[in-house]
Structures are given as structure tokens and as C-alpha cells.
Amino acid sequence: MNVSQIRDKFIHYFVAKGHTHVASSPVIPQDDPTLMFANAGMNQFKDIFLGKEQRSYTRATTSQKCIRAGGKHNDLDDVGYTSRHLTFFEMLGNFSFGDYFKKEAIQFAWEVSTEVFLLDPKKIFVSVFETDDEAYDLWLNHVPANQIVRFGAKQNFWAMGDTGPCGPCTELLFDRGERFSSAKDPYEDESGERFLEFWNCVFMQFDKGPHGQVLLKKPSIDTGMGLERIAALKQGVDNVFEIDLFQNLIRDAEKILSRRYEDHKVAFHVIADHIRSLSFAIADGAILSNVDRGYVLRKILRRAVQFGRRLGQEDPFLHKMVLPLIHQMGSTYPELKKEQSHIEEMILNEEEGFLRTLKRSGGLLQKAFEEAKPKNLLEGEVAFKLKDTYGIPFDELALMAKDMSIKIDTEGYLKEEERAKEISRKGFEVKEQLSMEPLLEFVQQHGPSRFVGFDTLHTNATVIGILHNGQFVDTLLKGQSGSLILDETPFYAEKGGQIGDVGSISAFRVDATKTPVKGLILHEGTAEDTLVLSQVVSAKVDYALRKEIEKHHTATHILHWALQQVAGPQVRQQGSYVAANRLRFDYNAQKPLSDEELKLIERICNEKIRENLAVTTYELG
Ligand code: GLY
């Protein structure tokens, strides 16, 4: 059974069980600042689990593009060295949004594993969360007790990130036999190579916030089965890189690299994996850069280039792997074909840049080792910098060090690595938030806030909610800060990088307008006199500031258009910040703009502004 057939069989099974087939979301999350890459099938359903959004279906199934590099789930350094880790993979999933729960989820997982994919029931072990007796008992209907293990939170409590939906889970593990290890059961199998986890079913029950967990209104189901892992089991191969899709890709890589796979398996694995992460991320609009997600992608590319160099590649080669990848995956994911030249160019540019850096850093490497000689020790900090900044893998440094009888301060190196991880995690932590639960209840009770600010900037309204210190109250006293909710409001809430309106609501000064949960417009500020619930107030947006913000908003559209005229139609917006006194516009590009191009863009923008065209406003969800 090839990869495509496996994908289809899984989806068909769940469609037949009443699930709606939903397309994969982009691998670059569109509106979730807590997430670096799509890391699980459930990401696109996060708001449904949290009760913030409803859809026409309560059961769904997907094959989701995922990247696990950087952020909470990070497998980058393992790729190439284990039989199962990938930075890019496809996750097959079935989801229930307050529909079925543990019993059916376990039943489905068992049926799919043993009746659809015909795995040997005697070799399937399952793990449950240590206190989840219900799941344990449900599994006893399918497997004997000696095939059930209990683990703590590290293995059997799943969370998509530091915040968000989470819950205990049950995993299905396949015993691949003694050739992997002598471990008798998953407890003994520390490396996880013998008892291969191929499916995780999460019993979504909580929303984790910065201050703890709250129960979700409706217990739900989120499952994830690694497509490449089930393919390896089905095709009877020991390593995910031996499945049909990867082997085809590797055959093409052999031609491009003029090397034999048999002699250099690790390097081929790394290259075959990394080209997938890079191509899918770029196709979905990512850029390679020095910060956040862009930096993780840059590290992935550098790691691939380094492994290529071990095979003698001194010139760019990675971009040549895009076409073979399209041959393997382009029909399932047409975005690859559509963005082919853009992906190739971006990878080629980055390869060239890195090879230039390496030429320069060749000197650095030599210098670092020369300085290490008197003490026979390469400092951990230096080693980490060589890896992190110049992408020289640790094991390569270790080999060189060994050749020169120099030791590497591994402890110092690991400390630096931990520090860098902490920084990258922090970068993606969500800010302090109000507790969502009461706000969601409020919207459910009162319906969404009515926005009237396109027609008027000044209206009379009724105060229907007052928040003080995160709690609903009846009165806000003079001098107290808090938030007001009105039955209708002309205040535009911060959205998509555009700051919200400021102004006044009778004796309340509005410093910011926000939407912490879908449908709710919250006016934050300070009471200059006492305000009470049900009071009729006069809500007035600061007109001058709104106008300035609008001008900058329009200017982002003009700038985007001008950029496309000059830098090409592939330029796409990555984000923006629109305020009353400035704007920032993030976009993707293969190379920086020249001075001439910048001047041209400025001229085109100014010309457009002088044309003084009419602006039409649309509220786009
Ligand atoms: N969301 C389940 C998993 O990724 O394992």
C-alpha cells in the first residue's frame, strides 16, 4: 500500500463514519501568534475546541501538513539519527467537537489499525495516562492487560503549546521486535525505537492558560497518526525514510548529488526531510530570516547544506530537489507546483548566501580551534555559536575536535543550547490574558457586539458589561481602570495588526479597543466618573486619530501594490502594524531591495496618493 493509498483509506474510513473531510491548513499559521508552525492536525480547529467558534459539522477528518522544528514540539536535531523523526510530516486525524468521546475514539483507532491497515493485534501496545482508568478499561475490550501501559504527563498528556487546548491521551504503539532493542515493553524502551508510537488520541478536556487549566465545555477528541510511520509499518520497512515516497525522492537525490544512498544514509535522510519542510513552508508564504520562524527555517536549510557538503557539494544543490519533491507530492498539494519557481529561487539564494558565509567562517572555525589548542578545550559557548550561527553541526565539530585531540566542553554547550531554547520558547509565549471562559459565556448570552463605526463615529449606547481586575462588576468607580462592553459601538477593535480606536464613552476614557474573544468588543480605559451597568452613554471615537489610522491602513495597500510592481507579483504580505503615526509592512522576498528599487516604490506610492482615489471599505471577518 503506497502513501497515497494509505492517506485515502484513512480519510474514506472516517468520511464513512460521518466525518467531514477538511483540507489541511497552511503550515504557516495564519492567525495564531502562539504557534510557529502548524504542529498538529488540531491547530486549525483550536477555536472550536475552545468553544469560540462553531461549524456546521461536529466530526472532521484531515491529512494535515505539520512541521515540528522550533517551538514546543521540536524534532530537528533528531532527524537523520533515528528511524522515525521528521521535521515535516503529514498527520492523519479524526476529530470530534463535543460529539463522540473516549469509547468511540478508541473503537475507531482499533478498527482502523487492525481492520483497515491489518496490523497484527498482538503487536499493538497502548499507553494511557496514569490515572485514566476509563481509557484503560475501554482498551481491555481490545487488548490484554499486558499490552496496556500507563505513563505520566510527559508521554500521555498532550498540549499543542504552552497555552491552548490540551488533555490526557492514549497512544498506539507497534512492537517492531528485538532487532530494535531487547526492551520487553514500552516501559523499558527508552529510545522509543522498538515500540513505535504511530497514533495518538487526545481526550481534549482543558484549556491551558498562563495561570492554569480550565475545563472545556464539551469534551472533544483530537487524534494524530503519522502518515509516514503507518506507511513504514504497512510497507514492512524499518525506517520512515524507506517508505515509497522518500525512496523515490532519494533516488532523485542520488542523481543530483552523484552519491550512493547506501553509503551516506544519514545525509540523504536529512536532505530528503529538510527539503520538504523548506518547500512547504515557503509555498505557504514563509521567509528565511534572522528571527523567529525565519531563523528556524534558515537553520534547517543550513543543516541540509552542511550534510550536502559532507557529500562533496561545494555548490548549491538543494534547490534542485524541489522538482523531485513536486513529482512526489505535487498532486496532493498543488501549492508546491504553483510556487515552484519562488521556492527554488528562495532556496538557491539562501544556499549561495550560506556558502559565502561558510567560506568566511572557514577562517572562524580554524581560529576557534587554534584558540582552543593551548587548553585542549573548545569552550561550550564557542561551539554553540559555531553551530547556531554558522550551522556547523555539533557532531561535525566533535569529529574535527577528535582529529585534533581537542575536547569540547559539552556541558557548557548543552547549557547554551538550553538557554537558546528558552529564549525561542519565550518568544512564542502568549501575553497575560483575561480569563476567556466568562467572556465566552458573555458572548453566548448577549450575542456578538454590534459594530456601527463604518457609519458613525459617535452614538448613544447602553453599557451591558463592566470588567474590573478581570471580573464582571456592576459599577466602576471614578479613577478605576477596567473595560466596558456596549450593546453597540463605533469603536473599531484592534485587528490584523491595525491598532484599535481610542476616544471616550461618557466619563470613561478609552485607551484601547480589543477583541479578546470572537464577537466581543472590549473598550479598555479609565473611569473619570462613576459608571454603572445599564447606563446610557455617549460613545465617541477620536475622529482625528481614526483618520490617521485609516490613512496608514490605506497606505499599506498602496505599498503592497507598489512592491509587487517593483519586486514582482510573488511578493506577499507577512504581517503589518498600522497605527496613527506609523505603519510597518512585512513581506516575503528573495533578496533585499536596492536603493533604486526603494526610491521607485516611494515614487509609485506618492503618485498613487496624489491621484486621491476613492477608498472603499470592506469588513473582512
Ligand atoms: N494532536 C495530537 C498529536 O499531535 O499527537
Burial (CB < 10 A; 0-12, 13-18, 19+), residue 591, is: exposed
User: What totals of helices (H) and strands (E) does the chain contain, helices first?
Assistant: 18, 24
| 3-state secondary structure string across 569-613 | CCCCEEEEEECCCCEEEEECCCCCCCHHHHHHHHHHHHHHHHHCC
Give pLDDT, residue 117: 97
Is 60 exceeded by the pLDDT of residue 619?
no
Is 60 exceeded by the pLDDT of residue 433?
no
Cα–ligand 1 centroid distance for 199 (angstroms): 8
Cα–ligand 1 centroid distance for 44 (angstroms): 13
Q: Which three cell numbers stand for residue 38?
A: 502548524
Cα–ligand 1 centroid distance for 222 (angstroms): 7
> How large is the average pLDDT for residues 478-491?
94
Give pLDDT, residue 266: 92
Is 90 exceeded by the pLDDT of residue 591?
no
Q: Residue 346 corresponds to which amino acid?
A: M
* Phi, psi for 240 (deg, rounded to 5): -60, -25
pLDDT interval class at 617 (50, 70, 90): low
For residue 223, the ligand 1 atom closest to its alpha carbon is 2
Secondary structure of residue 268 in the 3-state scheme: helix
With the most atoms of ligand 1 within 8 angstroms of its CB, the residue from 202, 225, 230 to mutate is 202
> How large is the average pLDDT for residues 263-271?
95
Give pLDDT, residue 258: 97
Helix, strand, coil content of the chain in percent (nearest 5): 45, 25, 35
Give pLDDT, residue 365: 77
Give pLDDT, residue 322: 98
Cα–ligand 1 centroid distance for 204 (angstroms): 11
Is 60 exceeded by the pLDDT of residue 288?
yes
CA distances, 609 to each of 564, 568, 597 (Å): 17, 21, 18
> How large is the average pLDDT for residues 278-286?
95
Give pLDDT, residue 620: 54
> How large is the average pLDDT for residues 365-374?
86
CATH superfamily of 3-237: Bira Bifunctional Protein; Domain 2 (3.30.930.10)
For residue 42, the ligand 1 atom closest to its alpha carbon is 1
What is the number of alpha carbons within 13 Å of residue 407 lying toward its C-beta? 7
Cα–ligand 1 centroid distance for 272 (angstroms): 23
Is 80 exceeded by the pLDDT of residue 422?
no
Average pLDDT for the chain: 90
Summarize pLDDT for 181-218 with one digit per residue, the tens. Answer: 999 999 999 989 999 999 999 999 999 887 788 899 89
Transcribe 384-420 into DSSP letters. Answer: HHHHHTT---HHHHHHHHHHTT-EE-HHHHHHHHHHH
For residue 73, the ligand 1 atom closest to its alpha carbon is 4
With the most atoms of ligand 1 within 8 angstroms of its CB, the residue from 42, 157, 221 to mutate is 42
Secondary structure of residue 491 in the 3-state scheme: coil
CA 559 to chain centre: 28
CA 615 to chain centre: 35
Give pLDDT, residue 466: 94
Cα–ligand 1 centroid distance for 149 (angstroms): 19
CA distance 287 to 346: 8
Cα–ligand 1 centroid distance for 300 (angstroms): 22
* Phi, psi for 168 (deg, rounded to 5): -65, 155
Query: Candidates 3.30.980.10, 3.40.50.740, 3.20.20.140, 3.30.2130.10; correct CATH number of 546-610?
Result: 3.30.980.10
Is 70 exceeded by the pLDDT of residue 348?
yes
Q: Whats the size of the chain, residue-wise?
A: 621
For residue 39, the ligand 1 atom closest to its alpha carbon is 4
CA torsion 64-69-73-79 (nearest 10°) is: 90
For residue 160, the ligand 1 atom closest to its alpha carbon is 1
> How large is the average pLDDT for residues 539-547?
92
CA distance 547 to 580: 8
Is 70 exceeded by the pLDDT of residue 559?
yes
Give pLDDT, residue 568: 84
Which residue's alpha carbon is at the smallest distance from atom 4 of ligand 1?
A: 40
Q: Which residues contact 618 (CB under 8 A, 6 or more apart)?
A: none
Q: Pick the residue with more confidence: 16 or 519?
A: 16
Strand partners, 61: 21, 94
> How large is the average pLDDT for residues 386-409?
76
pLDDT interval class at 621 (50, 70, 90): very low
Q: Which three cell numbers stand for residue 528?
A: 473619570
Cα–ligand 1 centroid distance for 439 (angstroms): 28
CA distance 152 to 187: 11
Cα–ligand 1 centroid distance for 10 (angstroms): 16
CATH architecture of 437-541: Beta Barrel (2.40)
Give pLDDT, residue 162: 81
Q: Domain extents for the chain?
A: 3-237, 243-361, 373-435, 437-541, 546-610
Give pLDDT, residue 428: 46
Residue with grid cell 518568544, as numbered in its chain: 427
Asked if 209 contacts 163 with a C-beta cutoff of 8 angstroms, the reply is: yes
> How large is the average pLDDT for residues 579-592?
79
Cα–ligand 1 centroid distance for 223 (angstroms): 6
For residue 66, the ligand 1 atom closest to its alpha carbon is 4
Give pLDDT, residue 425: 57
With the most atoms of ligand 1 within 8 angstroms of its CB, the residue from 35, 39, 48, 223 to mutate is 223
Q: Pick the residue with more confidence: 434 or 517?
A: 517
For residue 222, the ligand 1 atom closest to its alpha carbon is 1
Q: Which residues line ligand 1 (CB under 6 A)?
A: 40, 42, 158, 200, 202, 222, 224
Q: Which three cell numbers stand for residue 348?
A: 538557491
Asked if 28 contacts 286 with a C-beta cutoff of 8 angstroms, the reply is: yes
Is 90 exceeded by the pLDDT of residue 238?
yes
Asked if 19 contacts 94 with a C-beta cutoff of 8 angstroms, the reply is: yes
Give pLDDT, residue 507: 93
For residue 200, the ligand 1 atom closest to its alpha carbon is 5
Strand partners, 477: none
Secondary structure of residue 350 in the 3-state scheme: helix
With the most atoms of ligand 1 within 8 angstroms of its CB, the residue from 200, 208, 230 to mutate is 200
pLDDT over 90 percentage in the chain: 61
> How large is the average pLDDT for residues 524-534?
92
CA distances, 182 to each of 194, 197, 368 (Å): 8, 17, 42
Q: Pick the residue with more confidence: 363 or 44?
A: 44
Give pLDDT, residue 443: 87
Lowest mean pLDDT among 204-208, 280-284, 367-371, 438-442: 438-442
Residue with grid cell 547506501, as numbered in its chain: 262
Cα–ligand 1 centroid distance for 159 (angstroms): 8
* Entry pTM: 0.67
Summarize pLDDT for 162-184 with one digit per residue, the tens. Answer: 888 999 999 999 999 999 999 99
CA distance 303 to 431: 32
